[in-house]
Amino acid sequence: MTRLKRLASPKWWPIERKIKKFTVSPRGPHRKDFSLPLQVLLRDSLKLAETGKESKNVIKSGEVLIDGRKIKDPKFGIGIFDLIEIPSLKKSWRTIPRNGLSLIEIPENEKKLKICKIVDKKTLKGNKNQLNLNDGRNILTKEKYSTQDSLLIELPEQKIVDHIKFEKGSVAMVLEGRNAGKISKIKEIEKDRVWLEDEKTFEVPKKLVIMVGKDKPAIKLE
């Protein structure tokens, strides 16, 4: 499916819904209901184009980097913590889970740094571990990590810079729900749920949190 009815698109998308019938449907590694097509992001979120055609032209010319790679597909879906860079403007942004997905501008020294959650893993021949991350990428390593942990990686090389364990005292960010975007320390872990410390303690399913730091966030998230 290449098109999506505007009225059926996620409510948090920054588009006007009654001007036209259809909009672009995202494709790529992220969930469709939690990603935003690059064409829409460029035009409606960043306001760097006035029309869909202008946005397509910018993208197809190779002026936009996603996670350090040139992406020329206007329908490419941007998801959680993805890095958007436009070298000609000398600007970079990161997506965060607030009001759906929001953009924050990030400093030069962070334009290659991304936090990814380990959602699955398997052991391969040669005593290597394959880590499956939440953004669809895989990393091979001889080091041992656990699911629910996070990795701070440098892109596009996928170099592991830091490892953030899923454990009490570490800092997590809520991905979805009424507390989406909140950054708090983990107070308690029990089966499939975690308790986070804020002004008051609150509970969320562990699948809806991502580890972002040991004592504080390892990267800019606000």
| 187 assigned to some structural domain | yes
Q: Are residues 69 and 148 in the same domain?
A: no
Q: What is the pLDDT of residue 118?
A: 98
Q: What is the pLDDT of residue 66?
A: 97
Tell me which of 164, 179, 197 is where a domain ends. 164
Q: Which whole number is the average pLDDT over 40-61?
A: 91
Q: Are residues 9 and 88 in the same domain?
A: yes
Tokens 């910018």 correspond to what residue? Answer: 58
Q: Which whole number is the average pLDDT over 61-73?
A: 96
Containing domain of residue 158, as a range?
A: 113-164
Tell me which of 110, 132, 156 is where a domain ends. 110
Question: Can you give the CATH number for the domain in which 181 is found?
Answer: 2.30.30
Retrieve residue 148's tokens: 């629910």
Instruction: Assign 16 a pLDDT band (cuts: 50, 70, 90).
Output: low
Which residues does 116 contact at the CB level (< 8 Å), separation at least 6? 81, 133, 134, 135, 137, 150, 151, 153
Q: What is the pLDDT of residue 1?
A: 43
Question: How many domains in the chain?
Answer: 3
CA of residue 97 relative to chain centroid, distance: 8
Q: Are residues 7 and 63 in the same domain?
A: yes
Across the chain, mean pLDDT equals 90
Q: What is the pLDDT of residue 119?
A: 97
Sign of CA dihedral 147, 149, 155, 159: negative
Q: What is the pLDDT of residue 15?
A: 59
Q: What is the pLDDT of residues 157-184, one digit of tens each?
A: 999 999 999 999 999 999 999 899 999 9
Q: What is the pLDDT of residues 74-128, one digit of tens each?
A: 999 999 999 999 999 999 999 999 888 999 999 999 999 999 999 999 999 888 9
Alpha-carbon span 153 to 169, nearest angstrom: 22
Q: What is the pLDDT of residues 53-62, one digit of tens each?
A: 999 999 999 9
Tell me which of 127, 142, 164 is where a domain ends. 164
Q: What is the pLDDT of residues 186-222, one digit of tens each?
A: 999 998 999 999 878 999 999 999 999 999 999 999 9
Number of H helices, E strands in the chain: 2, 19
| 201 assigned to some structural domain | yes
Which residues does 126 contact at the CB level (< 8 Å), separation at least 6? none
- Name the amino acid, one letter, at 59: I
Kindly report the backbone phi and psi dihedral angles of residue 183, in degrees, each rounded to the nearest multiple of 5, phi listed first: -115, 120
**In the predicted structure, residue 151 carries a pLDDT above the cut 60:** yes
| 220 assigned to some structural domain | no
**In the predicted structure, residue 37 carries a pLDDT above the cut 50:** yes
For the whole model, what pTM was predicted?
0.88
| 219 assigned to some structural domain | no
